[in-house]
């Protein structure tokens, strides 16, 4: 199996199951024009997040790692009219692009972009006494994942679904000798999740246009 084949299959799924979406395509074009890196989720992954948010009946969604707002648009589209998505981004330029894209998508009323290191903005949400989130997507710096996961659990309720992207690190997550901070972050994340009695979790490997990677999914049980 090759990257070329994984890409062709993702393109096929996109054509058959997703189709053209001028708003999302314009969000990607806007991010590209602004010089943002191409590290957004793939269309079929965005739709997966959308379907998961719908399935849990999400009224409040939290995202860690906004970039240009591509995954935020997918998820915010799953919200009811009085729903709320808060997405956290360290880079003011990324946040500005995301705000423009969310506005263009007609989601400015439901989606809020907060700027700052996620460790700070997550702590701020807790200090504010934020209502629990129903769905959390963690997709920022990978060494931060153990701490972001712990915050996500604190900001959740029983039934909340937490999804963490890029946990496989090209397979290196299985390498106990790795010193790559993203790999050690992903291994530490799995240890934190395993030791957290309030969640039930699994991780799945994926291939596609974004290469070989995977997601961790955790349901808050109590
Ligand atoms: N979720 C986005 C999507 O699929 O459209 C992609 C997010 S991208 C993989 C990661 C983002 O996290 C980048 O925009 C980066 O600037 C941001 N980021 C990195 N470190 C961060 C931190 N400590 N706090 C908040 N955001 C951070």
Whole-angstrom distance, CA of residue 33 vs CA of residue 84: 28
Token output for 213: 């990677």
Q: Which of 24, 26, 66 to mutate to test the pocket of ligand 1 (most atoms within 8 A of CB)?
A: 66
Q: What is the ipTM of this complex?
A: 0.99
Distances in Å between the Cα of 218 and the Cα atoms of 68, 113, 115, 161, 222 are: 25, 24, 26, 6, 12
Domain containing 57: what range?
A: 3-220
Domain count within the chain:
1
For residues 79 and 53, the answer to whether their CB atoms sit within 8 Å is yes
Among candidates 64, 73, 66, which has minimal Cα distance to 94? Answer: 66
Query: What integer pLDDT is reported at residue 1 of this predicted model?
Result: 76
pLDDT tens for 67-103 read: 999 999 999 999 999 999 999 999 999 999 999 999 9
pLDDT digits (tens, 9 = 90+) for 92-139: 999 999 999 999 999 999 999 999 999 999 999 999 999 999 999 999
Ligand 1 pocket (Cβ < 6 Å) reads 39-41, 65-67, 70-71, 88-91, 94, 117-118, 139-141, 144
Tokens of residue 70, six digits? 């591509």
CATH code for the domain of 21: 3.40.50.150
């Amino acid at each position: 199996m090759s990257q070329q084949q994984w890409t062709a299959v993702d393109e096929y799924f996109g054509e058959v199951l997703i189709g053209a979406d001028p708003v999302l395509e314009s969000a990607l074009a806007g991010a590209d024009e602004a010089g943002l890196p191409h590290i957004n989720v793939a269309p079929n992954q965005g739709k997966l997040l959308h379907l998961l948010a719908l399935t849990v009946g999400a009224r409040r969604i939290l995202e860690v790692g906004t970039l240009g707002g591509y995954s935020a648009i997918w998820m915010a589209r799953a919200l009811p009219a009085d729903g709320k998505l808060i997405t956290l981004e360290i880079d003011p330029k990324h946040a500005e692009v995301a705000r423009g894209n969310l506005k263009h998508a007609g989601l400015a009323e439901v989606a809020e972009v907060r700027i700052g290191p996620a460790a700070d903005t997550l702590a701020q949400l807790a200090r504010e006494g934020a209502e629990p989130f129903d769905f959390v997507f963690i997709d920022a710096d990978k060494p931060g994942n153990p701490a972001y996961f712990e915050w996500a659990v604190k900001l959740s309720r029983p039934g909340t679904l937490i999804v963490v992207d890029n946990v496989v690190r090209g397979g290196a997550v299985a390498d106990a000798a790795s010193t790559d901070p993203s790999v050690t972050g992903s291994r530490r994340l799995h240890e934190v999740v395993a030791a957290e009695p309030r969640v039930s979790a699994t991780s799945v490997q994926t291939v596609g246009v974004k290469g070989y990677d995977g997601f961790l999914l955790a349901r808050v049980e109590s």
